[in-house]
């Protein structure tokens, strides 16, 4: 029921926001989401807080925090990569446990795709096969 409501409610889209990662204040949240998602990732290793903080200090531009109603809900992995002969925009989403299974990913991706269309690059989404 909630899933249907989220998808039909245009006002919900207004409650989704994206912000830049702040390594100093986001590393603990990022570590937890990464830990909870690592089983599904190509690189299933888990890292200590200090390792994640160091990683984010060096790579913060490749990630954004997704907020729902002002609360951090997950993070985006975004990067322009060379694929075959062209550049593509690569995007992945990892949500915190309490935001999973509620239908949030689809409106988040919808907003992102609209934004990324403007850069003119093909978009590659990294989505688990059971999330279709």
Task: Report pLDDT digits (tens) over 5-33.
Answer: 455 567 788 899 999 999 999 999 999 99
pLDDT tens per residue across span 49-61: 999 999 899 988 8
Instruction: State how far the Cα of 3 lies from the Cα of 50, in Å rounded to an integer.
Output: 36
- Is residue 80 within 8 A of residue 122, CB to CB? The reply is no
Of 85, 92, 82, give the one whose Cα is nearest residue 116. Answer: 92
3 state DSSP class of 21: coil
Please give the model's pTM, rounded to 2 decimal places.
Answer: 0.79
């Amino acid at each position: 029921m909630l899933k249907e409501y989220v998808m039909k409610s245009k006002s919900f889209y207004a409650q989704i926001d994206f912000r830049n990662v702040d390594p100093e204040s986001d590393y603990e949240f990022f570590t937890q989401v990464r830990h909870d998602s690592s089983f599904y990732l190509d690189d299933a290793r888990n890292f200590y807080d200090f390792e994640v903080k160091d990683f984010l200090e060096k790579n913060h531009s490749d990630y954004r925090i997704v907020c729902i109603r002002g609360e951090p809900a997950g993070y985006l992995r975004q990067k322009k990569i060379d694929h075959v002969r062209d550049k593509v925009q690569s995007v992945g989403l990892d949500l915190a446990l309490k935001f999973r299974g509620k239908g949030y990913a689809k409106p988040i991706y919808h907003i992102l795709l609209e934004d990324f269309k403007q850069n003119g690059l093909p978009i590659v989404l990294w989505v688990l096969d059971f999330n279709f």
